[in-house]
Amino acid sequence: MRRGLTGPPPLLGTAEPGTSLLHRATPRTKLLALVVVGTVVGLVRSLATPPTAAAWLAGLLAGCVVLARGCRLRRGLLRGQVRRTAWVLVALAVVQTWLQGPWEAAVVVGGLLACLWSATLVTATTPVPDLLDTVVRALEPLRRVGVDPERAGLAFSLTLTSVPVVGRLLAESREAAAARGLGASPRALLVPTVVRAVAHAEQVGEALAARGLD
């Protein structure tokens, strides 16, 4: 029976088991592909006209959808990322439309979404420990110039694990604002989220310090 037809979409940083080609690819290959996607997005935005750039980015987004289906990932994986970041995407679209027009807004939002979806596919098909090991090994040559690969790997791990935490805090703040009849108020959504996110960061810092990690 096909997996992933029901249930909530996983958050960024949560790997799903599978045997697809993307699952079997090495973490190094997937991280390099992620770098390539980011580079392509940057080049397209810089060199192409907005309508052409929008077409390229639409192709990237379509490719992400095809990969998600081909890897038999949980239904709603990519749509869930759009839902969690909808307020950011809408705000960007409004500002860019006002400043530079709708085509530029489509390019900015499409580029951000292409990078987000690509990162989601990588983390959904690769266990976090494997990604961390790859990052630490890749940074090992920089140890001679003062870079601590283990510390960098820890920072990468904290970044990945913080994404779902912030998403949960944002969802809880949205529900609380809606219960008070303030669902349309950005302040009622953002202020509690920021305060609780800072408190979470302080708790993590204290836990790391207690373990001898400054």
Q: Per residue of the chain (214 residues), what is the pLDDT tens digit?
A: 334 433 444 445 577 888 888 899 998 999 899 899 999 999 988 888 889 999 999 999 999 999 999 888 888 888 888 887 777 788 888 888 998 889 999 999 999 899 889 988 998 898 878 888 888 888 888 888 887 888 877 777 777 777 667 777 877 887 888 888 876 777 777 888 888 888 888 887 787 777 766 5
**Are the CB atoms for 149 and 139 separated by under 8 Å?**
yes
Residue in the block written with tokens 């601590």:
148
Confidence (pLDDT) at 214 = 59
Confidence (pLDDT) at 9 = 43
- CA-angle at 113, arms to 73 and 79, nearest 5°: 40
The CA–CA distances, whole Å, from 130 to 32, 49, 74, 147 equal: 14, 39, 21, 20
Measured between alpha carbons, how far is 20 from 24 in angstroms, rounded to an integer? 6
**Are the CB atoms for 80 and 9 separated by under 8 Å?**
yes
Confidence (pLDDT) at 142 = 83
Confidence (pLDDT) at 64 = 92
